[in-house]
Amino acid sequence: MKDKINILTIITYGVILSSISILLNDMREFDFNQFTAFQNWAKAANKTDPWFTSKNAIKWSFYVISAALFFWRGYLIYGFSYFLSILKEIEIGNYFSDKNSKSFKKIGDIFTSYAASVLILRFLLASIGKSTFNFFQEFKTELTILIPCGLAFYILAELFKRAKATEEENELTI
């Protein structure tokens, strides 16, 4: 089992590091493109127009929603770090520790909240005309894996709690 844990730990580290680098690259590209678009818009904008117009509101909404999407992606990557702590606990023999149950529950929380939030944010992005929204496409990409995985992790948290209770009962018997 130790070999499998080591391999899984290495793969998880690889996924976390590559996901972080992809996220940072996307943020840098977004920031760069947004700044270029903002400069072009500022050059062509009519200075006498009032600041609070629907065009400004749409621009800022797009920026805020995109920033929120980046935040949720980062939060999802943070969720994977709990996976590493579970593997570490199992490696040292603390199979049914409270830490593992809490980590499973936390991963479940992160996966389900990410799926729900990203669905809402992408719908909002489509409603301000900056993207297209196809529920079945979103379902295929985000919801197919994340929601069942999130639920599975909640169930694992419960199972590990029961296993811990059994273990404690066993340890207390003489």
Partner 1 sequence: MKKLTILKTIVDIFWIISILSIPLILAFLVFTIFDNSLVGKPMTVNGIRFRKFNWVSKMLLANSLIAYLTLVYALHLFRKILRYFQKNLLFDSYAIKTLNIIGIIFLVTSFFDSGIGFLYKLVRQKSMNLEYGLNSFVVLCILGLFFMILSEVFKIAKATEEENELTI
Report helix, strand or coil for 159: helix
CB of residue 5 vs partner 1: minimum separation in angstroms? 6
Question: By the criterion CB under 8 A, which residues form the site for partner 1?
Answer: 1, 4-5, 7-8, 11-12, 14-15, 18-19, 21-22, 87, 90, 95-96, 144-145, 147-148, 151-152, 154-156, 158-159, 162-163, 166-167, 169-170, 173
Residue among 142, 87, 78 at smallest CA distance from 110: 78
Nearer to partner 1, 28 or 162 (CB): 162
- Separation between Cα atoms, residue 159 and residue 41, nearest integer Å: 56
Nearer to partner 1, 124 or 146 (CB): 146
For 77-105, give one letter per residue: b (16+ CB within 10 A) or e: bebbebbeebbebbeeeeebbeebbbbbb
Nearer to partner 1, 39 or 144 (CB): 144
Nearer to partner 1, 19 or 85 (CB): 19
CB of residue 170 vs partner 1: minimum separation in angstroms? 4
Instruction: Give the H/E segment covering residue 82.
Output: helix 54-91
As given in the structure block, the two tokens for residue 172 are 């207390």
CB of residue 152 vs partner 1: minimum separation in angstroms? 6
